[in-house]
Amino acid sequence: MPKGRKRQNRKRIGRWTAQRLAVLDEFLQGGEHLSARDVYQRLREKEINLGIATVYRSLDFLIEIGLLRQYDFGSGEAKYELNDDEADQHHHMVCRVCGKVINYSKFVKRGLSLVKDIKMELEKNYGFKINSHQFEFRGVCGVCGD
């Protein structure tokens, strides 16, 4: 996560401004793995013009309240997507040549008990409170291979 500015501890929830709603809406309308610039440009095409800094701030806000999640797939920019709840969680496979990202959700159920055990172990041995996990596979996609 970028070295964001320090966040105040006991603040109330932020305000639902038109800009934040517009950013969220891009994801609700199906946007997957969008970068800040992606969101910025999509809104621009709809003549909704917000500053790029506001896009970043809105994304941070939406992460803070739990609606979005941030990923780094190695493209040089952070990607964002809706934050599934645990049971529906999906994971990612990334092509290391073209950067294509594929969602998969098979085996999530089968992995759940393993995840639960790891969480317990980590919390017991290291005093961590685990909030989230991600499994990521890297390789070469069919187009880039051969």
* Selected binder of DNA within 77, 84, 117, 121 (CB under 7 A): 77
3-state secondary structure of 68: strand
66 touches, from Zn ion, DNA, its own copies, none (C-beta below 5 to 8 Å by class): none
Q: How far is the CB of 117 from Zn ion (least distance, A)?
A: 20
Binding part of the chain for its own copies, among 15-23, 44-52, 81-89, 129-137 by CB under 8 A, reads 129-137
Report residue 92 as tokens.
Answer: 């990612």
Map tokens 């809406």 to a residue.
25
Q: Please check whether residue 128 is in contact with residue 81, taking contact to mean a CB–CB distance below 8 angstroms.
A: no
In the window 80-99, what residues touch Zn ion (CB under 5 A)?
81, 95, 97-98
In the window 51-80, what residues touch its own copies (CB under 8 A)?
70, 72, 74-78
Residue 103, interface with Zn ion (CB under 5 A)? yes
3-state secondary structure of 123: helix
* Residue number with CB closer to Zn ion (15 or 124): 124
* Selected binder of DNA within 24, 34, 50, 94 (CB under 7 A): 50
* 26 phi/psi in degrees, rounded to 5: -60, -35
Q: CA 30 to CA 32: how far, in whole Å?
A: 6
* Residue number with CB closer to its own copies (16 or 107): 107
Q: CA 109 to CA 92: how far, in whole Å?
A: 15
Partners of residue 104 on adjacent β-strands: 91
Residue 129, interface with DNA (CB under 7 A)? no
Q: CA 72 to CA 33: how far, in whole Å?
A: 10
* Interface contacts to DNA, rule CB under 7 A: 1-8, 11, 13-20, 35-37, 49-54, 56-58, 60-61, 76-78
